């Protein structure tokens, strides 16, 4: 016996799927994320005045300003946190990177760019359980929104979760740069803060966040680059790789993590690449132009952690 199946129900089903796909683009294409968000461009070079307005807006929007600094001329960075950000950070192992977001005010060619780190991009790159979409929307509402930037094509959530620069041998988020080991969290904090106050490696504290109920602290640092660590300097790095018209100032500041008495940081090959994913390996304004930076950052942060450089 031959059973004949009508083609009409199948055609109707395919048409239904097609209509759903057109109605919901998310079913046909993946969402792409970029590391930074341009909030607005202000036709003014009054960085101080713009900074005050941004500070007021952030406080009104219930963000805490935990630190700020100007790493080089025409540039100002505001670091913010909030109870919600700290709660999200506590939900994921090594999620403390999500405890802060960075807002940047950069004067370029007679106008000022107001930008901020893309919380959702960072959430995926740092493998958080939460996508921080609500934080992204809050900052857009407070500061404005023109477009995402920092990458030509952007990256999917899955690509960010396993992000490495170029090839498998490069460090990823799970790789740690071990800086120092202490007996407990209290001692580690004391030693690190003392070393940062001494500032012998040109490294100083910009902000500090301690997660309640966890032996975990994040400290953002300014790196001026001194002596043997010259290539670690914020200005040196950004002069070489932040060359596009819209500036990726929100890459700064670098951070150190203190967890259960151990001090570590992210390898520069990951930390820089995730914010500059389009950076070429060779040529002008490439990783080759800052080839000395990864080792200089290791040395600067090791000294900033109160430890010593191993002689190989």
Q: Are 228 and 185 in contact (CB under 8 A)?
A: no
Classify residue 73 as exposed, middle or buried by CB count within 10 Å of its CB (0-12, 13-18, 19+).
Answer: exposed
List C-alpha distances in Å: 144 to 62, 114, 122, 138. 16, 9, 19, 10
Q: Are 121 and 34 in contact (CB under 8 A)?
A: yes
Which element (helix H / strand E) includes 78? strand 75-81
Task: Quick: pLDDT tens for 213-237.
Answer: 899 999 999 999 978 788 999 999 9
Nearest one of 254, 256, 263 to 187, comparing CA atoms: 263
Strand order in the sheet with 254-259: 176-181, 262-266, 254-259, 216-223, 203-210
Q: What is the mean pLDDT of residues 59-63?
A: 97
Is it the case that residue 22 has pLDDT exceeding 60? no
CA angle 244, 249, 254 (to 5 degrees): 130
Q: What is the mean pLDDT of residues 197-204?
A: 90
Q: Are 39 and 149 in contact (CB under 8 A)?
A: no
Task: Quick: pLDDT tens for 136-186.
Answer: 999 999 999 999 999 999 999 999 999 988 766 789 999 999 999 998 999
Domains and CATH numbers, the chain: 32-161 (3.30.310.70), 176-304 (3.30.310.70)
Give CA–CA dist 191/195, Å, rounded.
6
């Amino acid at each position: 016996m031959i059973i004949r199946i009508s083609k009409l129900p199948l055609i109707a089903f395919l048409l239904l799927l097609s209509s759903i796909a057109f109605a919901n683009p998310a079913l046909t294409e993946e969402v792409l994320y970029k590391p930074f968000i341009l909030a607005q461009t202000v036709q003014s070079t009054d960085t101080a005045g713009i900074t005050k307005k941004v500070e007021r807006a952030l406080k009104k929007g219930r963000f805490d300003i935990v630190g700020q600094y100007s790493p080089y001329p025409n540039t100002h960075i505001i670091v913010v946190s909030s109870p919600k950000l700290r709660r999200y950070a506590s939900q994921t192992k090594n999620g403390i990177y999500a405890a802060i977001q960075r807002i940047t005010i950069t004067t370029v060619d007679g106008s000022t760019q107001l930008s901020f780190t893309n919380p959702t991009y960072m959430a995926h790159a740092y493998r958080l359980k939460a996508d921080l979409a609500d934080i992204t929307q809050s900052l857009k509402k407070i500061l404005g929104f023109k477009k995402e930037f920092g990458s030509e094509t952007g990256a999917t959530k899955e690509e960010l979760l396993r992000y490495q620069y170029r090839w498998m041998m490069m460090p990823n988020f799970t790789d740690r740069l071990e800086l120092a080991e202490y007996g407990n969290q209290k001692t580690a904090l004391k030693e690190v803060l003392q070393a940062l106050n001494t500032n012998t490696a040109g490294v100083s504290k910009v902000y500090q966040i301690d997660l309640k109920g966890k032996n975990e602290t994040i400290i953002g640092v300014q790196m001026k680059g001194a002596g043997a660590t010259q290539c670690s300097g914020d200005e040196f790095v950004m002069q070489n790789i932040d060359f596009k018209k819209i500036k990726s100032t929100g890459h700064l500041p670098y951070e150190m993590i203190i967890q259960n008495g151990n001090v570590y940081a992210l390898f520069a090959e990951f930390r820089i690449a995730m914010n500059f994913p389009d950076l070429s390996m060779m040529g002008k304004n490439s990783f080759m132009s800052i080839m000395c930076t990864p080792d200089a950052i290791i040395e600067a942060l090791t000294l900033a952690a109160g430890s010593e450089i191993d002689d190989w």
